[in-house]
Chains A and B, each alone.
Chain A
Amino acid sequence: MEISGEYTFKAPVEKVWAILMNPDALKASLPGCEKFEETAPDTYDMTIKVGVGPIKGTYTGRISMAEKDEPKHYKLLVSGQGSAGFLNGEGIFDLSSKGPEETLVNYKGIANVGGTLAGLGARMLAPVAKKMGGDFFKSMDKQLQAETESV
């Protein structure tokens, strides 16, 4: 399954980079995230609870960042499994400055799913993933705004 999209932040690229690298922000942007622990540099173990129909259950997994080229580019690796199957994926994130207060993030990734997750795949997962991608950035953006305001 391929996932791609873009999101525009109303913030300078350095700030966007910082928030995307912030473990607390990451945790807050993953819906149902119960545990998010750094186990090695740029590597986090996590537990996520999903409450949707047939993919309901607890999922455990790992997120790590690689190929970091601050503040332009990084790769996100995700692997997780739970009662409804597993998900392994990687995504490339490219940040580009569109102005002093505007940053465009392009993302492109591939996810492999197995088990019930795959059984539902073609029909359900692609639109869900797209929505989750959008929600993720919206949440990041919100946190960025909050940070800016508090400063």
Chain B
Amino acid sequence: MLTANATGYVGSRIKRREDPRLVTGNGNFTDDLTPAGTLYLHMLRSSHAHAKIVSINTAAAKAMPGVMAVFTGEDFKKELAGPIPGVPFGSVQAVPAYYPIATDRVRFVGNIVAAVVAETRGAARDAAEAIEVEYEDLPVVIDMEKAVKDGATLLHDEIANNICTEIELGNDVADTFKTADVVVEHRFFNQRLVPNALENRVALAEFHPGDESITLTVTSQNPHILRTLLSGEIGIAEHKVRVVAPDVGGGFGSKIATYAEEVIACIASRKTKKPVKWTETRSESFVGTIHGRDNIDYIRMAATKDGKITGLDIVAYCNMGGYMSLLGPSVPVLCGVIASGPYAIPNVHFKAICVYTNTTPTDAYRGAGRPEATYMLERTMNMLADKLGMDPMELRRKNFIQPDQFPYFNVLALNYDSGNYEPAMDKALQIFGYDEFRKTQEEARKNGKYIGIGQSTYVEVCGLGPGSGMTISRGYDCAVVRAELTGKVTVFTGVAPHGQGQETTFAQIVADEFNIPIEDVTIKHGDTEMTPYGMGTYGSRGTAVGGGALMLAVNSVKDKAKKIAAFQMEANEEDIVFEGGKFTVKGAAGGKSITFQEVCLKAYIDPKMAPVIEPGLEATRYFEPGNFVFPFGTHLAAVEVEPETGDVKILKYVCVDDCGKQLNPMIVEGQIHGGLTQGIAQALFEEAVYDDNGQLISGTLMDYALPTAADLPHYTLEHTVTPTTVNPLGVKGIGEAGTIASTPVIVNAVVDALKPLGVTDIQMPLRPEKLWKLIHNGGSGNGSAGADTSVVEQHFGEDNK
């Protein structure tokens, strides 16, 4: 556990130490690096969603000035040790061979068909344009529900019904639904999103012919995992591969996977014996970087007349895209395990069908599975509340897992270690002024205004993860804490922050624990040659897991420091107390003491210690939590829909989140702000749209609506603190909470606003023209995907009613 110390950094609103360099242009991003002799790589990508490659003619391209190499699929395959890996899951596990450069067939717009290496960016681009590719179009598969039908065109000849895998969790719910008083059911479409990190992906590969090693500097969230995978792809042994992630400008999950371009850059560098750099353009990013979400969710919920939920049943079609990205099917798993949210539901069944279609591969995107689960659950809660004539908050309160039920096994997979949901809800209701606002709403409705209240009470599973249960690997992280000779401390962490602020929060912990100024602490990350094997940053794990390892390493350093202090003061190690930056001997009041800095110096230079104590003062520790962590909270919003324009105005947004102990409330708030913004954007703005030919028709920032400050309200943030004992810091992760909770809040609010028109659902995103049409058509033609209940019935069989 954390020590309370006079330095008092932990818990304070310390400004992010990384920001001055990042906002003054002194950051060190991959594209800032251009070693002497760097060559540039440009990809030729398919404009066809599904086609045979009949021929490729590279002669003209190869003859162009400055061109050093041109790669096409078959030649390039010979340079590879293995294809791009995907981690299978579930009962089918069909993983197609995914080569960085397509060999005989392209399966999505953006699939790489050739790569050019040249002396300048312009030359590489011009040469790529001179490559002639002849395609023979194949039927395009876009609709997941059609893709799995017998007779559908197959993306991969060997993969039946285009099914990547099926994942089933939970218990039998058939009887529950047969005997239920009330059943609500619906089909939701959780639309596809494009991550759009501020910094696009970049890869700089430097092959070192002297020792046949390679360094890849890259925009990665997990350099160690990438190093292992890359080694298997390019056939250079792991100890000769160094992966460096310098400053990385956001990822949101899109920089977890291993990508074709990195592999091509490495092989191009090995071939040319020169550094090779690839810098993604924004247009390329739209088709070449993973997408998120894209689920069709059939859900039904059973309850008693008085609002006790008895059963939940979900069939989710999850779009994998044209190939399997690294964690493609793990995202539906994360959706399934948390499908029943914070509610004590005795019978829950979840089935995901993961489907290949002619679209960009999908993978983890901020929240990864949990936003999808929370969206359908929280929307369905409101539908049930409507059917029962209950207030949505009353229904939620009635079904919360109670504090005395923890640890709570949720039937699907998880053991929630801790939680206390009602205090967060009460606090949110009180700050929001829920009851009064209901009266305001009633008055406004009389005046013809469309005002609604939206709610979401969520729980998320994060801090990935324990090395057991539903995970695919052990889930630990590591830290090296090195007390330097001069009393300064250098920390090497295995997590790879790219916006999460651990250069600050980790330094706060270290400074407090050793009672030294925060300026005396440096946090290093992102270089496989510098840190032991770490899993990186994703799944709200940086502080919950990486911070745990840091605490263990700090404590190990303290233990050794005590040993040194005992030697120096000729006392027993057990009697040494470290307080206020000084080591003293217990019970010897006013006696000898030695400072932390003096201990550091002695550790490295004192010859008297030579026969007794090993030199140096550092520790390497791994921490693997015994469980996930389960942050939770209540979010409420009030919206007004403007009938003349269809615009949604968010009148207020209140959230009360519980992420356990907050190391730095300012950073927590920053994470929540970003999360809320991305979640609200899914509700109102963002959508990756494919046409029937598999063309991404929202493939530019003019067509894909990212939120701006002008679109967003003031956020009112509060919190409760329910500690967890899963990690030494008592923290639970906050990076994804905002995204997970906020999407259904907004949709619930807009649906509530339009309730007088008979509206029960509106398909996201709730763009103005959609709402305007709804209002002007008196509530019909709402674009709701659930209008056809017979389709829903098909997915749950005969026991439905």
- A interface residues with partner B (beta carbon < 8 Å): 54, 57-58, 60, 81-86, 112-123
What separation, in Å, do the CA atoms of A82 and B695 have in the docked complex?
16
Q: What is the distance, in angstroms, from A79's C-beta to the closest C-beta of chain B?
A: 10
Chain A residues within 8 Å of B699, by CB: 116, 118-119
Which single residue of chain B is at the shortest CB-CB distance from A58? B129
Chain A residues within 8 Å of B703, by CB: 119-120, 122-123
* B129 and A113 contacting across the interface, CB-CB below 8 Å: no
Q: What is the distance, in angstroms, from B399's C-beta to the closest C-beta of chain A?
A: 44
Chain A residues within 8 Å of B700, by CB: 54, 119-120
What separation, in Å, do the CA atoms of A83 and B703 have in the docked complex?
20
In the complex, which of the residues A60, A84, A114, A121 contacts B48, with contact meaning CB atoms closer than 8 Å?
A114
The 4 A-B pairs with the shortest beta carbon distances in the complex, nearest first, are A115-B47, A119-B699, A118-B695, A114-B47
Within 8 A of A (CB), among B284-316: 286
Chain A residues within 8 Å of B286, by CB: 119
Number of A-B contacts (CB under 8 A): 58
- B interface residues with partner A (beta carbon < 8 Å): 45-49, 109, 128-129, 132-133, 135, 283, 286, 691, 693, 695-700, 702-703
**Can you spell out 29 A-B residue pairs with CB atoms less than 8 angstroms apart?**
A54-B283, A57-B129, A60-B132, A81-B133, A82-B129, A84-B47, A86-B48, A86-B135, A112-B693, A114-B47, A114-B48, A114-B109, A114-B693, A115-B45, A115-B46, A115-B695, A116-B47, A116-B283, A116-B699, A117-B47, A118-B47, A118-B691, A118-B697, A119-B283, A119-B286, A121-B695, A121-B697, A122-B697, A123-B702
What separation, in Å, do the CA atoms of A116 and B702 have in the docked complex?
13
What separation, in Å, do the CA atoms of A50 and B52 have in the docked complex?
27
Q: What is the distance, in angstroms, from B111's C-beta to the closest C-beta of chain A?
A: 11
* A81 and B47 contacting across the interface, CB-CB below 8 Å: yes
* B129 and A119 contacting across the interface, CB-CB below 8 Å: no
* B695 and A114 contacting across the interface, CB-CB below 8 Å: yes
What separation, in Å, do the CA atoms of A58 and B125 have in the docked complex?
13
What separation, in Å, do the CA atoms of A112 and B283 have in the docked complex?
20
Q: What is the distance, in angstroms, from B365's C-beta to the closest C-beta of chain A?
A: 20
* A119 and B128 contacting across the interface, CB-CB below 8 Å: no
Known: A117-B47, A122-B703. 10 other contacts (CB 8 A): A54-B283, A113-B695, A115-B45, A115-B695, A118-B691, A118-B693, A118-B696, A118-B697, A119-B696, A119-B698
Which single residue of chain B is at the shortest CB-CB distance from A1? B691
* A86 and B47 contacting across the interface, CB-CB below 8 Å: yes
Chain A residues within 8 Å of B46, by CB: 115
Q: What is the distance, in angstroms, from A26's C-beta to the closest C-beta of chain B?
A: 23
Which single residue of chain A is at the shortest CB-CB distance from B696? A119
* A83 and B132 contacting across the interface, CB-CB below 8 Å: no
Q: What is the distance, in angstroms, from B570's C-beta to the closest C-beta of chain A?
A: 76
Chain B residues within 8 Å of A82, by CB: 129
Which single residue of chain A is at the shortest CB-CB distance from B133? A81
What separation, in Å, do the CA atoms of A143 and B45 have in the docked complex?
40
Which single residue of chain A is at the shortest CB-CB distance from B700? A119
What separation, in Å, do the CA atoms of A121 and B133 have in the docked complex?
22
Q: What is the distance, in angstroms, from B638's C-beta to the closest C-beta of chain A?
A: 33
Which single residue of chain B is at the shortest CB-CB distance from A120? B700
Q: What is the distance, in angstroms, from B291's C-beta to the closest C-beta of chain A?
A: 14
Q: What is the distance, in angstroms, from B702's C-beta to the closest C-beta of chain A?
A: 7
Which single residue of chain B is at the shortest CB-CB distance from A117? B47
What separation, in Å, do the CA atoms of A118 and B688 have in the docked complex?
13
What separation, in Å, do the CA atoms of A122 and B695 have in the docked complex?
11
Report if A119-B695 is in contact (Cβ < 8 Å); known contacts: A81-B47, A86-B47, A114-B109: yes
Chain A residues within 8 Å of B695, by CB: 113-115, 118-119, 121
Which single residue of chain B is at the shortest CB-CB distance from A112? B693
Q: What is the distance, in angstroms, from B49's C-beta to the closest C-beta of chain A?
A: 7
Most A Cβ at <10 Å: residue of B45, B128, B132, B695 = B695
What separation, in Å, do the CA atoms of A119 and B46 have in the docked complex?
13
Which single residue of chain B is at the shortest CB-CB distance from A82? B129
Q: What is the distance, in angstroms, from A48's C-beta to the closest C-beta of chain B?
A: 14
Chain A residues within 8 Å of B702, by CB: 123
Chain A residues within 8 Å of B693, by CB: 112, 114, 118
Q: What is the distance, in angstroms, from A61's C-beta to the closest C-beta of chain B?
A: 12
* B109 and A115 contacting across the interface, CB-CB below 8 Å: yes
Which single residue of chain B is at the shortest CB-CB distance from A113? B695
Which single residue of chain A is at the shortest CB-CB distance from B703? A123
Which single residue of chain A is at the shortest CB-CB distance from B695? A118
Q: What is the distance, in angstroms, from B286's C-beta to the closest C-beta of chain A?
A: 7
Q: What is the distance, in angstroms, from A34's C-beta to the closest C-beta of chain B?
A: 15
What separation, in Å, do the CA atoms of A84 and B695 have in the docked complex?
13
* A83 and B691 contacting across the interface, CB-CB below 8 Å: no
Which single residue of chain A is at the shortest CB-CB distance from B128? A83
Which single residue of chain B is at the shortest CB-CB distance from A119? B699
What separation, in Å, do the CA atoms of A114 and B564 have in the docked complex?
70
Q: What is the distance, in angstroms, from B719's C-beta to the closest C-beta of chain A?
A: 42
What separation, in Å, do the CA atoms of A57 and B129 have in the docked complex?
8
Which single residue of chain A is at the shortest CB-CB distance from B286? A119
Chain B residues within 8 Å of A123, by CB: 702-703
What separation, in Å, do the CA atoms of A81 and B54 have in the docked complex?
14
Chain B residues within 8 Å of A122, by CB: 697, 703
Most A Cβ at <10 Å: residue of B49, B132, B133, B691 = B691
Q: What is the distance, in angstroms, from A73's C-beta to the closest C-beta of chain B?
A: 27
What separation, in Å, do the CA atoms of A21 and B135 have in the docked complex?
29
Q: What is the distance, in angstroms, from B468's C-beta to the closest C-beta of chain A?
A: 44
What separation, in Å, do the CA atoms of A120 and B129 have in the docked complex?
19
